[in-house]
Amino acid sequence: MESGRRPVAVFGAYGHTGRFVVAELLARGYAPIPSGCDAKALEELAEEYGLEAGGRVASADDAASLDRALAGTAAVVNCAGPFASTAGPVIEAALRAGVPYLDVAAEIEANLDTFAHYRDRAEAERAVIVPAMAFFGGLGDLLATAAMGDWTSADEAHIAYALSSWYPTAGTRLSGAVSRERRGERRLRYRGGRWEHRTDAAPTLDWDFPPPLGRRPVIGEFTMADVVTVPLHLAIPDVTTYMSAEAARDLAAPDTPAPTAADGSGRSDQTFLVDVVIRSGGAERRATARGRDIYAVTAPLVVEALDRVLTGRTRTVGVASAGEIFDAADFLRALGPHIALDA
């Protein structure tokens, strides 16, 4: 590998999001070490990006192969869903190797598992584990934390997503199927400081997005990973996420195609707006972020997090969400080339 570049293992590097992460690591001066179970895909990826170290074949059900994949690396970024199957084994490998672990999991249940199973152990071992460091989970958590500012508690957090479209990757579809299998016919929401299982349909309502979008129909209680991360470190008993109705229909339709590149970087032409509203008593605070391609923007999110972990710009150890472990406002400012912020 190129001299001076710190090696970072990327599990699931040849997946749609993983490729963006590899490119971002290279741009930030790191040496990505791609890993996964498909040897041919690893070879092609290493050749495409000119990775001198090549790839390392590893599988989530083979602990020894994961140990080999992480050997000599500074950290691991897990991009391989479904995370219900991969998060635990890769975290265990990271703990054995003594390196930080970050993932881009949007699966509610997988993230709940990570916090429940590893928080005490990681804290005791002074390890760093940052799950859901992605568009869903990480970005909303950072925005909510920044909006809270000096408030020590609030009554409600609302995180509304307006996506121009949602062409899901194969990984998104597979992860969704795994989550639905675990939940059955039930859906989850967070009310009164606890999780509730619901069997009724999620409500449809209108959300007033900032201009130029304005009032748009959304699916309410469209629970995403932010509802896991936010209340774990912010004293907010009611946390709700919303999804623009058009994007929800795209995701639900079985024939919606996968995203296609609209420029040389591989980004699609999808645009997004994330609107976060925090309410306490009669007061309200808001933070908004705009950008392009929810999968592509995950790469600068997780690589910025990685860089802050490896350079000691963190506030805690153990299993922590983005807003808990990082200075949220400073982190969001660092994303300026990728996200337009109004907070």
Report pLDDT digits (tens) over 112-140. 999 999 999 999 999 999 999 999 999 99
**CA torsion, points 109, 113, 114, 115, in degrees to nearest 10?**
100
Task: Report the pLDDT value the prediction gives residue 265, as an integer from 0 to 100.
Answer: 95
Task: Report the pLDDT value the prediction gives residue 52, as an integer from 0 to 100.
Answer: 83
pLDDT at 181 over 50: yes
State which fold the 136-294 domain adopts: Dihydrodipicolinate Reductase; domain 2 (3.30.360)
Q: Domain map of the chain by residue range? A: 7-135+298-329, 136-294
State which fold the 7-135+298-329 domain adopts: Rossmann fold (3.40.50)
95: which residues sit within 8 A by CB, 6+ positions away?
101, 121, 122, 125, 127
C-beta of residue 258 within 8 angstroms of C-beta of residue 176: no
Task: Report the pLDDT value the prediction gives residue 110, as an integer from 0 to 100.
Answer: 96
CA–CA separation, 250 and 232 (whole Å) = 30
Tell me the pairing of strands 318-319 and 128-130. parallel
Task: Report the pLDDT value the prediction gives residue 318, as an integer from 0 to 100.
Answer: 98
C-beta of residue 142 within 8 angstroms of C-beta of residue 287: no
Predicted structure pTM score: 0.97
Decide: residue 185, CB within 10 A, 0-12 exposed, 13-18 middle, 19+ buried: exposed
What average pLDDT does this structure show over 250-269? 97
Instruction: Find, among 267, 268, 175, 270, the residue nearest to 224 by Cα.
Output: 175
pLDDT at 94 over 70: yes
Task: Report the pLDDT value the prediction gives residue 3, as an integer from 0 to 100.
Answer: 47
C-beta of residue 34 within 8 angstroms of C-beta of residue 56: yes
Task: Report the pLDDT value the prediction gives residue 4, as an integer from 0 to 100.
Answer: 66
Instruction: Please tell me if the domain spanning 7-135+298-329 has the same topology as the one spanning 136-294.
Output: no
E strands within the chain?
7-11, 31-36, 56-57, 75-78, 101-103, 128-130, 156-163, 187-191, 194-198, 204-208, 215-219, 238-244, 271-280, 283-292, 318-319, 340-342
pLDDT at 65 over 70: yes
What average pLDDT does this structure show over 182-192? 93
Name the band, by pLDDT with cuts 50, 70 and 90, for residue 1: very low
Residue 329 parent element (H or E) = helix 328-334
What average pLDDT does this structure show over 283-309? 98
Task: Report the pLDDT value the prediction gives residue 305, as an integer from 0 to 100.
Answer: 98
C-beta of residue 77 within 8 angstroms of C-beta of residue 9: yes
The Cβ-side half-sphere exposure at 250, using a 13 Å CA radius, reads 19
Decide: residue 3, CB within 10 A, 0-12 exposed, 13-18 middle, 19+ buried: exposed
Q: Which of 16-25, 137-146, 182-191 has the lowest mean pLDDT?
A: 182-191
Name the band, by pLDDT with cuts 50, 70 and 90, for residue 196: very high
